[in-house]
Every structure is written in C-alpha cells, then in structure tokens.
Amino acid sequence: MSKLMIIGAGGVGRVVTFKCAAHPEVFSEIMLASRTKSKCDTIIADAAKATGHQKLSAARVDADNVPELVALIREFKPALVLHVALPYQDLTIMDACLETGVHYLDTANYEPIDEAKFEYSWQWAYQDRFKAAGIIGVLGCGFDPGVTSIFTAHAAKHHFDEIHYLDIVDCNGGDHGKAFATNFNPEINIREITQNGRYWENGEWVETKPFEIKKVLNYPNIGGRDSYVLYHEELESLVKNYPTIKRARFWMTFGQEYLTHLRVIQNIGMAGIEPIEYQGQQIVPLQFLKAVLPDPGKLGDNYVGETSIGCRIKGIKDGEEQTYYIWNNCSHAKAFEETGAQGVSYTTGVPAMIGAMMVLTGKWTGAGVYNVEEFNPDPFMEKLMVEGLPWNEQFDIDLEV
C-alpha cells in the first residue's frame, strides 16, 4: 500500500480521485492538491462518500512553484505524484519529484505556455537525472496518449511481427447540449487543434494545414463521422519505439457546428495566446475565452452518446499481411453515473489510475522516463477490462484509412 498525491482538480482529477479511492489496497492514502483548494475539498468529499475510503485529504499548491511543490511532497511523503493539471506544469512537477525522489506520472506532454507547440524533447531530457535518482517518470498515461500507445504495444507483442501502418482514430459521438464547449481544458484544446497537423510517412514528418485532410470514418455503435488528421504527441514516441512503421496518423472527429464556432473564434482573435492590453491590464484572449466557456468538468449531466477511440493497424505476421482494429467505446452517461464526470474525462482518468497502480504494485519498473508503450502492456490491458474501459478487437477487416 502506498501514498498517492494527485495534482489537478478538474474533470480528470475528479475521475482519478474516485477510481484511486476505490482501491485502498493500493492507494492507502490520497491527497488531492490544486491551486483552488475548495475544488479539491468537493471532490474529496464526493469520493469519500462514494467509496468509503477513510484517508483522503485536500491541499492547496501552486504547480508552477517548485519550492511549494517540494514542501507539500515532503510533508505528505507520497510514493508517486500523479499530474493531471496543465501540461504547462509538467516540468515544474518533474523538478519537484526529482528533488524529493518521488515517482512521477502524467497524461499529456509538456507545452510551453508562450508557444503553441508540444513535443517530448523537454521531458525526454530528464532521462539521465531520473535514472540517477532511481525514480520512474511515466509520460502520457491518459487515453490518447496512453491507451492508444498501449493498444499499439499489445498489437506488436501479440499480433504482428512488424507494424507498417498505424491510424489512431478518436471519435466523440456524444451530445452535451451546449452550443459550443470543449471536452477538456478549452485553452489546451483550442491551442492543439488550431495548429498545423502532421503525420509520419516514409521516415519523415509531413505537415498539413489545420483540418486539411478529411475522411468519413465509421465508428462502432456510432456510425460515420467527419474525421480529420491532426498531430498528436503519441505519434512522436510510437514511430521512435516502432521503427518499422511506414506511416502513422492521428484522426479526430469534429462536427460542422463545432468547426464553425472555431473559425469565428479564430477570426475575431479569441484564439490568440499573445497578451493584449485591456483596461490597463494584460490579458491573453484564449485564457479569457476559457473563463467564459462551459467548464468541461461540469458537462456530464445529461451528456448522451459514446466516445470511440482505437487503433487501426496494418502489418505483417508470419510473412502474411494482416489488418487489426482495437478500440474502446465509453458511455458518457455511465461515466457520469459512476464519477460525476463526462466520458472524455473518464477515458483520461481511468488509465492514469491504472498506470499509477502499475508502478506502485511493481508491474511497471525501472529508473528514467518512459512512454507507456515501453512497458509490458498485458497487466494494463487486463485492468482496462475491469475498471470501466473494456476493449474490443477485430482482425482482417477493411480499415477505411
């Protein structure tokens, strides 16, 4: 049994807290910390009522402040810090874990706050320091990145000698009833999807304009949806760790109403990340927009439909070409019933809990920083089946991509 510190009290933090609290045999004590302690207090109270876990606590911490983080970590003495706050804060939390000798896990790679760019180089640079400290850093243990990478590792271990073509497909077939809302932090979401896209082909990155490549793909229980090629961080680590891959792409669905709102937001300058002066104060337009958009953590009530996320893979097994599709569908309503959060938060929070469980029970070991596909996928895949995200697989099908 181990102490766990969770940093971040949004929708994902809520799911992680609920799911970890359901396993006191692994997570003997849990502290939830964020900049706004009142949010932590609410989540802790709800999780304690739902699970009966007796050792849950809340704290305030500024995740941008390494000395504050270090002080709280030393006071609570967790075995692992599970970071589900903002990706801007990956490095400060990793620095605090280094200083205190505590394991680290996150769900998304680092993004500098002043530039809409994300890549693993900043976090991979911690490899030698984490190794010397004898601690493990688990990078990208949400759903995508996270489960999609573990799905790929599972396929490589059990079903392919070589993976040649990988398409990660992400569909939110749900309806929250709002005119416009993002399913996770609006600031991060809009920064990511308005960047140029890129995909890997024949040993190099091919850049695309936002939403340039579109195709109607069919998703289980959902049907056909407009799907667009974006860049997503797991592509960077997967093509590194599986060098036989000839092409790797990431597809995400967007409805036309959503895209119309997004174009208006961009056209009027509200997607900007450069500060502007307003009534004598410096404000960032996108951060102001975040403040007026619906809170993703509060979208779960009356949210209907499902998400469907998976990997469509083509490669070679025993000298023969093989196609393979592995996926999970998650009901927004069921996620809300269990945790009080919608399905997108659920599909990120559950894998983060399982990843922490893998480290603290010794299923995933090592010293240094690792992307999740570098670990044994089997115990993680087993836990997905019983922790609310069961997966399905199908062979020898038309992959549509």
Here the CATH number for the domain that contains residue 135 is 3.40.50.720
Q: Tokens 């208006």 belong to which residue?
A: 264
Closest Cα to residue 190, out of 213, 210, 170? 210
**In this predicted model, what pLDDT tens digit does every residue of 25-71 receive, in sequence order?**
999 999 999 999 999 999 999 999 999 999 999 999 999 999 999 99
Q: What is the pLDDT of residue 187?
A: 64
Residue 377 forms part of a structural domain: no
Claim to verify: residue 295 and residue 256 sit in the same structural domain: yes
Claim to verify: residue 101 and residue 173 sit in the same structural domain: no
Give the burial string for 16-48 (b: 16+ CB within 10 Å, else e): bbbbbbbbbeebbbbbbbbbebebbebbbebbb
Which residues 6+ apart lie within 8 Å of 142 measured at CB?
Answer: 12, 107, 108, 347, 348, 349, 351, 352
Q: Which pair of structure tokens corresponds to residue 115?
A: 């530039």
Q: Residue 76 belongs to what domain range?
A: 2-139
Residue 297 forms part of a structural domain: yes
Backbone angles phi and psi of 89, in degrees to 5: -100, 5
pLDDT category at 260 given cuts 50, 70, 90 is low
Q: What is the CATH number of the domain that holds 240?
A: 3.30.360.10
Claim to verify: residue 133 and residue 153 sit in the same structural domain: no
pLDDT category at 163 given cuts 50, 70, 90 is very high
Claim to verify: residue 158 and residue 294 sit in the same structural domain: yes
Q: Judging by beta carbons within 10 Å of its beta carbon (0-12, 13-18, 19+), is residue 360 exposed, middle or buried? A: buried
Residue 66 forms part of a structural domain: yes
Last residue of a domain, one of 111, 139, 167: 139
Q: Which pair of structure tokens corresponds to residue 296?
A: 């993703």
Q: What is the pLDDT of residue 180?
A: 65
Q: Which pair of structure tokens corresponds to residue 66?
A: 């390494």
Residue 134 forms part of a structural domain: yes
**In this predicted model, what pLDDT tens digit does every residue of 324-341 receive, in sequence order?**
999 999 999 999 999 999
CA 111 – CA 44 distance, rounded (Å): 28
Residue 347 forms part of a structural domain: no
Cβ contact 389:147 at 8 Å: yes
Give the burial string for 249-262 (b: 16+ CB within 10 Å, else e): bbbbbbeeebeeeb
Identity (one letter) of the amino acid at 325? Y
Residue 246 forms part of a structural domain: yes
Claim to verify: residue 119 and residue 172 sit in the same structural domain: no
Claim to verify: residue 189 and residue 312 sit in the same structural domain: yes
Claim to verify: residue 233 and residue 111 sit in the same structural domain: no
Q: Is 310 left (phi over 0), alpha (psi -120 to 50) or beta?
A: beta
pLDDT at 184 over 60: no
Claim to verify: residue 126 and residue 184 sit in the same structural domain: no
Number of domains into which the chain is organized: 2
Last residue of a domain, one of 108, 139, 170: 139
pLDDT at 108 over 70: yes
Q: How far is residue 290 CA from its own chain's centroid? A: 19
Backbone angles phi and psi of 206, in degrees to 5: -110, 120
Claim to verify: residue 79 and residue 154 sit in the same structural domain: no
Name the residue with higher pLDDT: 178 or 232: 232
Average pLDDT rounded to a whole number, residues 275-304: 76
Q: What is the pLDDT of residue 203?
A: 97
Please give the model's pTM, rounded to 2 decimal places: 0.92
pLDDT at 121 over 80: yes
Claim to verify: residue 193 and residue 267 sit in the same structural domain: yes
Claim to verify: residue 23 and residue 115 sit in the same structural domain: yes
Which residues 6+ apart lie within 8 Å of 196 measured at CB?
Answer: 207, 208, 209, 210, 231
Last residue of a domain, one of 139, 163, 190: 139
Residue 351 forms part of a structural domain: no
CA 16 – CA 6 distance, rounded (Å): 8
Claim to verify: residue 132 and residue 169 sit in the same structural domain: no
Q: What is the pLDDT of residue 284?
A: 80
pLDDT at 125 over 90: yes
Residue 15 forms part of a structural domain: yes
Name the residue with higher pLDDT: 294 or 275: 275
